[in-house]
Amino acid sequence: MVRIAIIADTHIPSRAEAIPEWIREEVERADHTIHAGDFDAAETLDEVRALAGGELTAVTGNMDPQFDLPSVTTVERGGWEFVVTHGTGDIDGYEERVAGVVRETAGDGPAVGVAGHTHQVLDTEVDGVRLLNPGSATGAEPAGTATMMVAEVDDGDIDVAVHDE
């Protein structure tokens, strides 16, 4: 089984001071970490990379223009392809826009889309594409509470749980 920590929208230091300890522990415990953008500062990216022990897949968010990160990337773990993007743009059409990125990017096997941007937890299906948004790992506005997801992938099966403070 592969355990994947999924976080986004840390916004440190503009909207939050630190990643909560319980999220830090989940990232350290995971086999791989996905961050769907809006780190906010290079130091935050470095911190998440260190917590993940080098097992980090990350994209740039609309608050990360100075980082040398892709806007869309993929990682395969446990037989699933995770298509990661921030989801930048208007809230109207968000789900369809992210699902479109997943359809354009994913290969032929099972895939799931991971995005951030809205700070709202989401686990839904749009036109046959499963979309995950872990909310904000620091509870940055407009979230109000820190959230993340943990995906457990085993032999082609995927189980996703939301964790909050």
The model carries a pTM of 0.97
Rg (CA), the chain: 14
Low pLDDT (below 50) residues in the chain: none
User: What is the pairing mode between strands 129-134 and 111-114?
Assistant: parallel
Q: Compute the distance between CA of residue 163 and CA of residue 99 in angstroms, rounded to an integer.
A: 23
**Can you give the pLDDT at residue 165?**
79
**Can you give the pLDDT at residue 65?**
76
Which amino acid type is present at position 7? I
CA angle 151, 137, 80 (to 5 degrees): 20
**Can you give the pLDDT at residue 113?**
98
CA 165 from centroid of its chain's CA atoms: 17
Tens digit of pLDDT for each residue in 43-59?
Answer: 999 999 999 998 999 99
**Can you give the pLDDT at residue 155?**
85
Write out the H or E segment, with its range, that includes residue 122. Answer: strand 121-126
Range 2-164 has CATH code 3.60.21.10: yes
Any long-range contacts for 99-107 (C-beta under 8 Å, 24+ apart)?
Answer: 99/126, 99/127, 99/129, 99/131, 101/72, 102/129, 102/131, 103/127, 103/129, 105/72, 105/74, 106/74, 106/81, 107/81
**Domain chopping of the chain, boundaries:** 2-164
**Mean pLDDT over each residue of the chain, to the nearest integer:** 96
**Can you give the pLDDT at residue 159?**
97
Residue found by looking up tokens 């939050």 in the block: 16
Q: Which of 33, 55, 3 has its CA nearest to residue 137?
A: 33
